[in-house]
Amino acid sequence: MVEREIEVSDYVSPSKLSDYVINPYVGCPHACRYCYASFMRRLTNHEELWGDFLDVKRCSKPLGRKRLTGKTVFMSSVTDCYNPLEAKYQSTRRILEELAAIECELSITTKSNLLLRDLDLLKARTALFQSSATLFAAPSEEKSGIRVVSSINTVDEDFREEMDRASTIAERFDMLDACRREGIPTILFMSPIFPYITDFRAIVARAAPVVDAVWFENLNLRPGYKEDILAYIHARYPQFYERYLDIYQRGDLTYWSALKEEIVDYCERVGISYQIMFHY
């Protein structure tokens, strides 16, 4: 792993995902094979493979209470703010300490149970908002000021190990459970859904007791990793290979249309809040 510290002018960037995003790092040691953020390697001129480098951002500029108050803030869009090296550099914790008194709607997405180290800061945010008049659109998030999102797209640990270096599936569910028991809204982000491999019913059934909602996103094969994923499917799931070619080479969207209907039907029947974010 190649590590270096870099000076940046600002931690905070405007975004289409929310009002602002904060990415404390460039790169991500979780090395997800399907990571859309791997394009960052080209922009930053890294010769290392995605997952084999981490730039630790350092910034002396304050986050800016005035600009963030009342806004939505997302951590993080092109890295995991709780990647393993966060234990060493603690950039995310320092940012959370600065955010502690700022009344913004903060969403943290991570595949790491390292987040539990900072449960004290997350609980402080809920306390702050419980004593304020700030309201959020979703009832489950009113006066919380924080929500924790974790990506889980399988209950098969072998498949997970072949896809990322992050926390185990059990550790992620335990993290969501711990947060929810502390009154912190939690969301399971089922992303990306691998056709014919991701068992969404099994994941929802396991998630229902520990999350407030489930989001669903389908697998998009971008040029940077499309060849690798298709080769993986051919080697490990040859029975599905032609079906993947139908979807990703021939443009057949039948699978996603049918799956969307199945998700809606199942979530309505089990009574769990959901959001479908399929991209074609």
Specify the number of domains making up the chain: 1
| β 53-58/25-26 pair status | antiparallel
pLDDT tens-place string over residues 15-65: 999 999 999 999 999 999 999 888 777 777 888 999 999 999 999 999 999
Distance CA 187, CA 141 (A): 11
Higher model confidence: residue 127 or residue 147?
A: 147
pTM of the entire structure?
0.92
Enclosing H/E stretch for 55: strand 53-58
Residue 80 and residue 30 in contact, taking contact as beta carbons nearer than 8 Å? yes
Q: What is the CATH number of the domain that holds 102?
A: 3.20.20.70
**pLDDT exceeds 60 at position 133:** no
Distance CA 51, CA 224 (A): 14
Domain that residue 60 falls in: 2-276
